[in-house]
Structure 1
Amino acid sequence: MARQTLCVLALLLAAPAVADDDLLAQGRQVFLEQAQPSCSLCHTLREAGASGAVGPDLDQLRPDAARVESAVRNGLGVMPPFAESLSDEQIRAVAAYVSSVAGQ
């Protein structure tokens, strides 16, 4: 019985990591391919192999997800807003991705 409980507990604890991995993979795809223009054209983000020089270096800035989501949704400075071209799900995914990998 104790072994079954441990197995169930392990599965429950592992489930969010799988969802997080899927979310981060989706966010990476938005960063590199789905956003038009691509985030990688303007921003440096080592994990994505991006070395843009127009926008801030995200590895140095290390923004949290809320900051990324706001910038993507509403635009910031010369960065255009993406609220009309990306879904809420895509915006949340790219925000989670950037905030998770920036500075690594």
Structure 2
Amino acid sequence: MRPALWHLTLSAYLAGVALAAHADQEGRQLFISVVPACALCHTLKDAGATGAVGPSLDELKPDAPRVAKAVRNGIGQMPAFPQLTEAQVQALARYVEEATRSSAPTAGEHRRPH
């Protein structure tokens, strides 16, 4: 690969990594601080959340489209969050997907209905 092309490819990759890290931070902040906070009802180890009303997201491991749909429309007892912009919904959804991708349930954790 030519040096100029290599540098361009590397720069694009690093920019993508930086954007993903920013989205993860924004998503984590939204998970903790949206009113009402997702953390009040859901367990998510990465966010330090131990809610017991909604399902444990560490066990459920939802993908981003599933999270986004639930946030936009609500599901079961979970309300919709119309105050969030589409960009915020996407950041939150990506964060939950990434945070649960490698998480494993801890001993004593059990699956709650969703």
TM-score of the pair, normalised by structure 2 = 0.83
Q: What is the one-letter code of the residue matched to 2:67?
A: V
Query: What residue is the counterpart of 2:28 in the other structure?
Result: 28
Query: What residue is the counterpart of 1:90 in the other structure?
Result: 88
Distance in structure 2 (CA, Å) of the matches to 1:8 and 1:90: 29
3-state DSSP of counterpart to 2:10: helix
Distance in structure 1 (CA, Å) of the matches to 2:9 and 2:70: 38
Q: CA offsets per residue over residues 7-29 of structure 1, 9 Å max, x none? A: 22211221111111111111001
Query: What residue is the counterpart of 1:77 in the other structure?
Result: 76
Count of aligned pairs between the two proteins: 102
Gaps of 5+ in 1: none
Distance in structure 2 (CA, Å) of the matches to 1:64 and 1:93: 12
Query: What residue is the counterpart of 2:47 in the other structure?
Result: 48
| Structure 1 residue 7 corresponds to structure 2 residue 7 | yes
Distance in structure 1 (CA, Å) of the matches to 2:53 and 2:44: 12
CA RMSD of aligned residues (A): 1.4
Distance in structure 1 (CA, Å) of the matches to 2:80 and 2:62: 17
Gaps of 5+ in 2: 104-114
Quote how far apart the aligned CAs of 1:4 are.
3.8
Distance in structure 1 (CA, Å) of the matches to 2:5 and 2:30: 39
| Structure 1 residue 64 corresponds to structure 2 residue 53 | no
Percent identical among aligned pairs is: 43
3-state DSSP of counterpart to 2:59: helix
Query: What residue is the counterpart of 2:97 in the other structure?
Result: 99
